[in-house]
Amino acid sequence: MNSPTMASTVVEAGQIDGSYLTDGFTIRSWLLTTDHKRIAVLYLASITMFFFIGGIAAALVRLNLIVPEGLLGSAEAYNRLFTMHGVVMVWFFLVPAVPVTLGNFLIPLMLGARDLAFPRLNLFSWYLFILGGAVTLWALFAGGVDTGWTFYTPLSTTYSKGHVVLAAVGIFIAGFSSIATGLNFIVSIHRLRAPGLTWYRMPVFLWSLYSLSVLLVLATPVLAITLLLVVLERIFHIGVFDPAIGGDPLLFQHLFWFYSHPAVYMMILPGFGVVSEIIPAFSRKRIFGYKFIVWASVSIAVISFFVWGHHMFVAGTSLYSAVLFSILSYLVAVPSAIKVFNWLGTMHKGYIRFDAPMLYALGFIGLFTIGGVTGLWVAALAADVHLTQTYFVVAHFHYIMVGGMVSAFFGGLHFWWSKITGRMYPEMWARVAALIMFIGFNLTFFPQFILGYLGMPRRYFSYAPEFQVLNVLSSAGATILAAAYLLPLAYLVWSLLYGEYAPANPWGATGLEWQTPSPPPTVNFIQTPLVTQGPYAYPPPETGRERHV
């Protein structure tokens, strides 16, 4: 395997001076910034914190499941822990992660713009996120919520003794942060493209974030009204989900999943975008089937609004609705499959290098595909009857969310780390961490497919003894996975202080963001770039080329 040598230009230690990082050193210059790059860094710190909170909750959950009777001893504590894990990971890590860090940082750069359309709205969005997060954390630590992140009624509205109102309010506030971010992205992509940057010349990352933003903007308001209705029902002891007065608990499920299904595509679409940038760069080849990939992103966003009922196949809905949602769920899987084939097609006849971003991207393809094919299982109606609400579904979505999305996030973080910080991370440690993550992840979640088939229900504090061996395997894997997440925290922080200074384009990749210094100055581009060719303008493979940058 070749490791890339650094670009031949010598980098001065003073490179970081004159960048956005040194444009003001006060706390005020950070907390009142409107620079999209600084806001991205603020967000990065925030979501890292939430990731570790959600991760600790997960660690305790897996710890509990080592013995059938539940090691933690308290079902109440366990119920609150898995709820905390779900709430924090879904709304405060997975949905924001790539968009608010990589998206905020890179979108103006990729557009050739100097900032987003509404920079003050961007800052406000971060404050909403922090406020929502604080309120939610307050709920979780003041005693917790014990309804699961799905808040099904009437458990959440009438029977739960947890801090449902507080948690719902926190999520409600954070939802507006998402809406503001999505709005900013959509308007920026429409209105701030540099001269010559037509839609079909945009990198796939921008198309993915555009599709994501449409989901953010249209689906999140439905979550907002749903949470509001739950809060009002809980406070006033009366509401539209209460069957005793003619309300309908299933109405909650329809409203909730109408948002939450697009939400899972909100989580994965940016991951697709990141991988679509990494694979061409590390295969030094233009992406295969550009138009198919970009339209696949758009069609995933559109179709995702029409499949929510597949979470309700055993909930008491009608036969016709179940059949309709099943076929639509198969339909939405097709564009994702197209993307996988196209990424492989990009690697075909490329010049592949195995730096850490590429290892994460390859891991994504493998793990996402496993998660994706198991989606075919749960989309099949009769199979879902057996598998739903078991660990099979848990494994399915963790393969996509963690195996896929978190891998993509780490891959993107490493790929653009030099652009964001001006430093290179230590390559060997990064590769080691990527490999450990792949191994730990599979050991944690693969046994859960089997547990699910065998019938082990999810959200169980204690379980039947015959499930113990697989649970122990899974928990063992979780410790390895934890190490794989702590390692990057350590070496990335180390690199901020001691990492090598990075040149503008350490990977030799295409894209406007690489035309600026690492890290960029506050205004991004001194002169607005003029775009004259499509993305991924690598030389064709038959011309042969140098083996490294």
Partner 1 sequence: MSSTVVHDFQYESPSHQAQTAIAGMWLFLATEVLFFGGLILSWIYSRHWNQIGFDAGARETKLWIGTLNTGILITSSFTYAAGLAWIRAGNTRRLIQCITVTLMLGLAFLALKFGLEWRDDFSQHLFPAASIFKITGAEEGGARLFFIFYFISTGLHGVHMVVGVALLLWIIRRARRGEFSPLYHTPVHAVGLYWSFVDIVWLTLYPLIYLVGRG
Partner 2 sequence: MDLLLPAASSSASEVDHLLLALLLISGAVLVLVFALMFRYIVKYRASSGFDRGAVAQKTWILEGAWTVATLLVFFGLFIWGAELYVRLFQPPPGALKIYVIAKQWMWKVEHSGGQREINTLHLPVGRAIELVMTSEDVIHDFSVPAFRIKHDVLPDRYETLWFTVTRPGTYHLFCTQFCGLDHSKMVGAIVALTPPQFQAWLEQNGTAGTLEAEGKILFMRYGCSGCHGGNGNGGNQSESTVRAPPLTGLYGGPVPLSNGTVVIADERYIHDSIVLPDQQIVAGYAPIMPSFAGQIGEEDILKLVAYIKSLAPERPQ
- Picked from partner 2, partner 1, none, the partner binding residue 463 (CB below 5 to 8 A depending on kind) is partner 2
* DSSP category for residue 547: S
The two most distant CA atoms of the chain are separated, in Å, by 74
Minimum gap (Å) between residue 120 Cβ and partner 2:
41
508: left (phi over 0), alpha (psi -120 to 50) or beta: left
Minimum gap (Å) between residue 335 Cβ and partner 2:
9
- CB count, 10 Å around CB of 213? 28
Minimum gap (Å) between residue 30 Cβ and partner 2:
40
Contact 501, 16 (CB under 8 A): yes
Which residue's CB is nearer to partner 1, number 239 or number 535?
A: 239
**Residue type at 535?**
P
Minimum gap (Å) between residue 528 Cβ and partner 1:
8
- Picked from partner 2, partner 1, none, the partner binding residue 134 (CB below 5 to 8 A depending on kind) is none
Contact 261, 311 (CB under 8 A): yes
The answer to whether 7 contacts partner 1 (rule: CB under 8 A) is no
Which residue's CB is nearer to partner 2, number 213 or number 342?
A: 342
> Using CB under 8 A, which residues numbered 109 to 168 contact partner 1?
113-119, 121
- Picked from partner 1, partner 2, none, the partner binding residue 108 (CB below 5 to 8 A depending on kind) is partner 1
Which residue's CB is nearer to partner 2, number 124 or number 330?
A: 330
Minimum gap (Å) between residue 325 Cβ and partner 1:
17
Q: Is residue 75 exposed (0-12), middle (13-18) or buried (19+ Cβ within 10 Å)?
A: middle
Q: Give which of 293, 294, 324, 319 is closest to 308, Cα–Cα.
A: 324
Minimum gap (Å) between residue 108 Cβ and partner 1:
7
The answer to whether 10 contacts partner 1 (rule: CB under 8 A) is no
The answer to whether 171 contacts partner 1 (rule: CB under 8 A) is no
| Element holding 495 (H helix, E strand) | helix 468-498
**Residue type at 17?**
D
Q: Is residue 320 exposed (0-12), middle (13-18) or buried (19+ Cβ within 10 Å)?
A: exposed
- Picked from partner 1, partner 2, none, the partner binding residue 113 (CB below 5 to 8 A depending on kind) is partner 1
Q: How far apart are CA 509 and CA 412, in angstroms?
A: 13
- Picked from partner 1, partner 2, none, the partner binding residue 76 (CB below 5 to 8 A depending on kind) is partner 2
Q: How far apart are CA 167 and CA 74, in angstroms?
A: 22
Interior/surface letters 38-57, b for 16+ CB within 10 angstroms, e for the rest? bbbbbbbebbbebbbbbbeb
Minimum gap (Å) between residue 32 Cβ and partner 1:
16
> Using CB under 8 A, which residues numbered 181 to 220 contact partner 1?
183-184, 186-187, 190-192, 217-220
- Picked from partner 1, partner 2, none, the partner binding residue 249 (CB below 5 to 8 A depending on kind) is partner 2
Which residue's CB is nearer to partner 1, number 36 or number 85?
A: 36
**Cis amide prior to 154 (ω within 30 degrees):** yes
**Residue type at 498?**
Y
Minimum gap (Å) between residue 409 Cβ and partner 2:
21
- Picked from partner 1, partner 2, none, the partner binding residue 306 (CB below 5 to 8 A depending on kind) is none
User: Which tokens is 342 given?
Assistant: 């196209």
Which residue's CB is nearer to partner 2, number 312 or number 472?
A: 312
Q: How far apart are CA 540 and CA 446, in angstroms?
A: 39
Minimum gap (Å) between residue 441 Cβ and partner 2:
15
Could you tell me the CA-to-CA distances from 437 to 285, 355, 404, 442, 495 in Å, in that order? 27, 15, 11, 8, 20
User: Which tokens is 310 given?
Assistant: 């597949």
SS3 457: strand
> Using CB under 8 A, which residues numbered 518 to 537 contact partner 1?
523
Which residue's CB is nearer to partner 2, number 407 or number 495?
A: 407
> Using CB under 8 A, which residues numbered 215 to 254 contact partner 1?
217-222, 224-226, 228-229, 232, 236-240, 244-248, 251
Q: What is the DSSP string of 496-544?
A: HHHSPBP-S-TT---SGGGGS-SSPPTTS-SS-----S-S--PPPGGG-
Among 86, 108, 372, 477, binds partner 1 (CB under 8 A): 108
Minimum gap (Å) between residue 264 Cβ and partner 2:
19
Which residue's CB is nearer to partner 1, number 187 or number 337?
A: 187
Minimum gap (Å) between residue 375 Cβ and partner 2:
10
> Using CB under 8 A, which residues numbered 405 to 464 contact partner 1?
none
Give contact residues for partner 1 (rule: CB under 8 A): 108, 113-119, 121, 179, 183-184, 186-187, 190-192, 217-222, 224-226, 228-229, 232, 236-240, 244-248, 251, 255, 258, 523
